[in-house]
Homo-oligomer: A and B are copies of this chain.
Amino acid sequence: MHKLSTIVELLGVPLPSGINGEKVIRGLNTLTRADGDELSFLATDKFVKQLPSTRAAAVLVHRKVRLAGVEVPAGVPLIVVDDADLAMAKVLGLFAPPVPRPAVGIDPLSRVAATATIGADCRIGPFVVIGERVALGERCVVHPGTFIGDDTVIGNDCELYPNVVIRERITLGNRVIVNAGSVIGTDGFGYRWDGRQHAKIPQIGTVVIEDDVEIGSCACIDRAKFDETRIGRGTKLDNLVQVGHNSRTGPHCIMAGQSALAGSVTIGTGVVLGGQSAVRDHVSFGDGAMLAGCSGAMDDVPAKQVVSGLPAIPHRQMLREQAALRDLPDLRTQVRKLQEELEALRKSLATTPVA
């Protein structure tokens, strides 16, 4: 619960004239769902049509949104901001309740090895296992049911949510967040047919997660066959993402839900992979490349290229092909007609006494 005056102050914009800054705001919601105690927002022209009927307590409006001719409900103040997304993020931060965490210290119902090093102000919950020679930085939070294997090294200010598994000899940087149920460091999927069976190839490498990475729930990042699997600084992985052995992401990448890197994939800086997309093994993506949702990249993608489809090709080409495919039944009809016309023409010429 925050006063409207607190909110405009946070955003560094003036309170619209005639508006009561003492009005108490309970939360945020969309234009259509907000009630009289909730703040809403209007970031693009697309949703302008929802403005007249909103019951929001006030609306943050992006400066660029065209309001000419739009009827604003009486008593709903519009607060114009330079960047509605940024303003929203700030207001969400204001309203964000604190994450509940275990108390500072080591829960008596956990199992922490005597050889582990636990930094100052860490919070270790019940049913946690921390292995031999683990080094945990300062202010880390290890929620209940989480497992950290021997010799793993974790930086400062990391948060491991419940039932996470970080296997042995893994490295996490600072401020890494791993959401519930994810697994880091499983053996890479490597076998060799020995004439009788798929023989397991030892996976002796490791996983390195750099600073400021967040990993969603039930995501899997496999241990390298040798050397390392690496997630670059500031990269964000969504739920149910798969990263195969020896794959490497650059910094600031985005992997949306259920996307996957097969083995030995390399993606550059700021690469974006849509939901349910996949990259074949040994494929590389240049900096800033993008793979659309549900697409599968089978070949290297140059920097800044946007690709889509299965196999993924440049997105504009895919759109052209899709359009052509939409017309394909028509095209078949046209070709059949052409064949008939040509045949008719030939026949008429054959029966014409030309010479």
A residues with CB within 8 A of B: 27-30, 33, 85-86, 88-89, 92-93, 95-97, 99-100, 109, 111, 125-127, 129, 131-132, 143-145, 147, 149-151, 161-163, 165, 167-169, 179-183, 186-187, 189, 191-192, 194, 197-204, 212, 214, 216-220, 222, 225-227, 234, 236, 238-240, 242, 244, 252, 254, 256-258, 260, 262, 275-276, 278, 280, 293-294, 296, 309-311, 313, 320-322, 324-329, 331-332, 334-335, 338-339, 341-342, 345-346, 349, 352-355
Copies assembled: 3
Extra contacts, 7 of them, besides A92-B204, A183-B217, A198-B236 (Cβ < 8 A), are: A29-B226, A97-B169, A256-B262, A262-B275, A262-B293, A276-B296, A309-B310
A341 to B349: give the CA distance in the assembly, Å: 14
A225 to B329, CA, bound (A): 43
**Nearest-CB distance from A324 to chain B (Å)?**
4
Identify A328's interface contact among B222, B328, B338, CB under 8 A: B328
Candidates B85, B143, B201, B320; contact of A329 at CB < 8 Å: B320
A sample of 17 inter-chain contacts (CB < 8 A) reads A29-B227, A96-B202, A109-B111, A126-B129, A161-B186, A165-B217, A181-B183, A183-B218, A183-B239, A197-B212, A200-B214, A220-B257, A256-B262, A258-B260, A324-B328, A325-B325, A352-B355
Known: A150-B100, A189-B236, A257-B260. A311 touches B322 (CB 8 A): yes
Report whether over half of chain A's contact residues are helix, strand or loop; otherwise say mixed. loop
Give the residues in chain B near A151, CB-CB below 8 Å. Answer: 100
A92 to B245, CA, bound (A): 14
